[in-house]
Amino acid sequence: MRTVDRAGTATLRRPGPRRRAVVTALCATVVAGTTACTTAGNTPSAPDVPPARVAELLEQDYAQAATRALPSVVEISTDSGLGSGVVFDDAGHVLTNAHVVGNSTSFQVRLPSGTATYPATLVASWPPDDIAVIKLVGAPPARPAAFGRSSDLVVGDIVIAMGNPFGLDSSVTEGVVSALGRTVSEPAGPNSPGTVLRDAIQTSAPINPGNSGGALVDLHGEVIGIPTLAAVNPEAGGAAPGIGFAVPSDLATDLARQIVDNGKVVDSRRAALGLSAVTVTDANGQPAGVGVAAVQPGGPAANAGIRDGDIITMIDATEVRNAQQLQKALAEHRPGDVVQVTFVRPPGGPTTVPVTLGELPSG
C-alpha cells in the first residue's frame, strides 16, 4: 500500500498477498442521491431524467459489469498468503502481480465458479512493472477477461475493483479514476525487490489486502487495470481511503502477451542508464547520491563518460539522493530520451553530461 504524507513524499506497502482474516460481518454500500451521470452503460446523461431512474440504471450498470468480469477473477494461494489474478486467455494463463507470486513457482488457484482449487505453475515474473503470468494445470475452462484500453480512460471514469480481499472471494468496490500517468515507488518486501511503477492509474475504488493482481474494470466489465497498491495514513497507521493504484491494462497485457509468447519479457520499453548503483550516505548517515558500482561496457552511461565510483546527484533538474529516486526519475522517461546527468567524481566537483537512455534489459 502507498503512504502519502502532506508534503507529497511517499512510502508504500502492498495490499496483497495476505493471510485470510476471520470476518464476522459483511455490509454492502449503497450509493444514493445520484442526480446526474455520464456512463458507458445504461445510465443516461440527460438532466431531465428523474434521479431515481438515473440511480436505478446506474445500479444496473454496476451489476452487469460485475456479472461480466467476476467469472474471470481468481484467487491465488502461495506459501506466504493470498492474492488475486485475472484469466488471460483460453489456454489457462492467469495475469497477476509479481509481488503476489513472489519467489514461488507453484500455486493453488480457486476459480470463482466453485470451492475446488487447482494447481498452477509460474510462466514468468517481471518485477520492474510488478507483472507475472501463471498457468493453470488440469483446471476446467475458465472465462478469459475482456480487456479494455487504459489509454481511453479519462479522470472521473467510474471503475470497479474486483478481487479476493482477506480471502473474501469475488468482492467488488467502486470508485472513479482519480488520476492517470502516476509514477509510484513500490518498496522492497519479502516477495519483491521493490520497483517504480510507471503510468499507474490512481483510483478511489478501495483496494484491500488480497486485491493485488485482481481486476480494475469499467462499466462495460472490461479490465482496464491490475490493482497493485493501496494507500495508508502514516499518521493514523491505518488505511487512507480513496487512494489506490493499478498497473494500466495496455502495459499489463503487452507484458503478459510477451511472457505467454516467449516465456519472458523480451521488450521492456523501460529506460535505463546501463549501470548498477547503490545509495551513498554523507557523514551524518543521510542519503547523498547514487554511487555507480558498475558500468555496462558500451552502454549509455559508459558512452557518456560515466565511470565506476562516480556519484550521481541529479537527472535533469531532479535531485537524486538515493537509488529509488534514480529509479523514479528514469521511469518518467523512455528509451532514446536524452537526459542531463549530474555526477561527482571524487575529489572533484559536479559534472553534467547528456546521456541517451537505453532500454532496461529484459529477462
Q: CA Rg, the chain, in Å?
A: 22
C-alpha distance from residue 269 to each of 262, 307, 326, 361 (Å) = 16, 25, 17, 9
Helix, strand, coil percent values for the chain (each to nearest 5): 15, 40, 45
Contacts of residue 157, Cβ cutoff 8 Å, sequence gap at least 6? 176, 177, 218
> Quick check: 103 and 110 in contact, CB under 8 A?
no
Measure the CA–CA gap between 284 and 72, rounded to whole angstroms: 52
Active-site position among 80, 84, 93, 130: 130
Active-site position among 61, 77, 84, 99: 99
DSSP 203: E
Question: Which of 287-316 are b and which e, b meaning 16 or more Cβ less than 10 Å from the residue's Cβ?
Answer: ebbbbbeebbeebbbbbbebeeebbbbbbe
> Quick check: 32 and 58 in contact, CB under 8 A?
no
Active-site position among 212, 218, 250, 268: 212
Phi and psi of 301, rounded to 5°? -65, -45
Beta bridge partners of 10: 4
C-alpha distance from residue 61 to each of 10, 41, 84, 125, 187 (Å) = 35, 6, 23, 34, 36
Question: Which of 222-247 are b and which e, b meaning 16 or more Cβ less than 10 Å from the residue's Cβ?
Answer: bbbbbbbbbbbeeeeeebbeebbbbb
220 is catalytic: no
130 is catalytic: yes
Residue with cell 518498496: 187
Q: Would you please indicate which residues are annotated as catalytic (active-site) residues?
A: 99, 130, 212
